[in-house]
A and B are shown apart, each in its own frame.
Chain A
Amino acid sequence: MTDSSTTGAPAAARPARSAPRSLRIPFRGDPLGWLGLLLLVLLVGVGILHPLLPLGDPLASVGPRVAGPSARFLLGTDELGRSLLPRVASAIGVTIVLSAIAVLVATVVGVAIGCCAAYASRRVDQLITRVTDVLFSFPTILIAVLVSVVLGPGRPAAIVAIVAVTLPTMIRVARAEALRIVELDFVTSAEVAGARLGWIVRRHLLPNMREAVIVQCTYSISLGMLVEGGISFLGLGVQAPDTSLGALVGAGRLYLTVAPSYLLIPGFVLGLAVLAFNLVGDSLRAQRREQ
Chain B
Amino acid sequence: MAGEIFGRARVTIELAVLGGLFTVVPGVALGLLGGVSARRRGSATATRLVNVLFLSLPEILLGGLLVFVITTYVVPFTVGVWPSLVDDPAGNLAAAVPPALVLSTFGIGVVMATTRRAVGTVLDEPYVRATEIRGLPVLTTYRHHLWRNIAAPVLTVFGIYLAYLLGGAAIVENLFALNGLGSYLINAADQRDYPAVQGVVLAAAAAFVVINMLIDVLYGVIDPRVGRRGAA
Contact = CB atoms under 8 A, between A and B. Distances in A.
A90 interface: no
B58 A226 contact: yes
Contacts of B182: 141
B61 A268 contact: yes
A233 B171 contact: yes
A14 B107 CA distance: 50
Contact of A31 (B45, B190, B194, B204): B45
Contact of A146 (B64, B160, B186, B201): B201
Nearest to A279: B52
A142 B58 contact: no
Counting chain A residues whose Cβ lies within 8 A of the other chain, the interface size class is: 35 or more
A240 B4 CA distance: 32
Interface in A237-291: 246, 249-250, 252-253, 256-257, 260, 263-264, 267-268, 270-271, 274-275, 278-279, 282, 286
B189 A145 contact: yes
A149 interface: yes
Contact of A267 (B64, B163, B170): B64
B199 to A, nearest CB: 13
B67 A249 contact: no
A235 B190 CA distance: 8
B219 to A, nearest CB: 15
A138 interface: yes
Given A256-B67, A256-B71, A137 B60 contact: no
Nearest to B167: A139
B61 A136 contact: no
Contacts of B48: 32, 282, 286
B70 to A, nearest CB: 10
B49 A32 contact: yes
B192 interface: yes
B61 A234 contact: no
Contacts of B149: none
Given A31-B45, A145-B185, A233-B171, A256 B68 contact: yes
Nearest to A31: B45
A253 B56 contact: no
A230 B60 contact: yes
Interface string B52-95: 11011111110011011001100000000000000000000000
Contacts of B72: 257, 260
Given A149-B192, A234-B170, A139 B64 contact: no
Contacts of A149: 189, 192, 194, 197
B175 A145 contact: no
User: For B167, B170, B192, which residue has the most chain A Cβ atoms within 10 angstroms?
Assistant: B170
A267 B175 CA distance: 13
Contacts of B53: 275
A209 to B, nearest CB: 21
B96 interface: no
A253 B204 contact: no
Contacts of A145: 170, 185-186, 189, 197
Interface string B17-43: 000000000000000000000000000
B208 A271 contact: no
A174 interface: no
B159 A139 contact: no
A250 B174 CA distance: 10
Interface in B172-217: 174-175, 182, 185-186, 189-190, 192, 194, 197, 201, 204, 208, 212
A249 B64 CA distance: 8
Closest 3 CB pairs of A and B: A139-B167, A267-B61, A275-B56
Given A257-B71, A278-B55, 16 more contacts: A32-B49, A32-B52, A137-B208, A137-B212, A139-B163, A139-B167, A139-B204, A139-B208, A141-B171, A141-B182, A226-B58, A230-B58, A233-B171, A256-B67, A271-B57, A278-B52
16 contacts: A30-B45, A32-B45, A137-B212, A141-B170, A149-B197, A229-B60, A234-B174, A249-B60, A249-B64, A263-B68, A267-B60, A268-B61, A271-B56, A271-B57, A271-B61, A278-B56
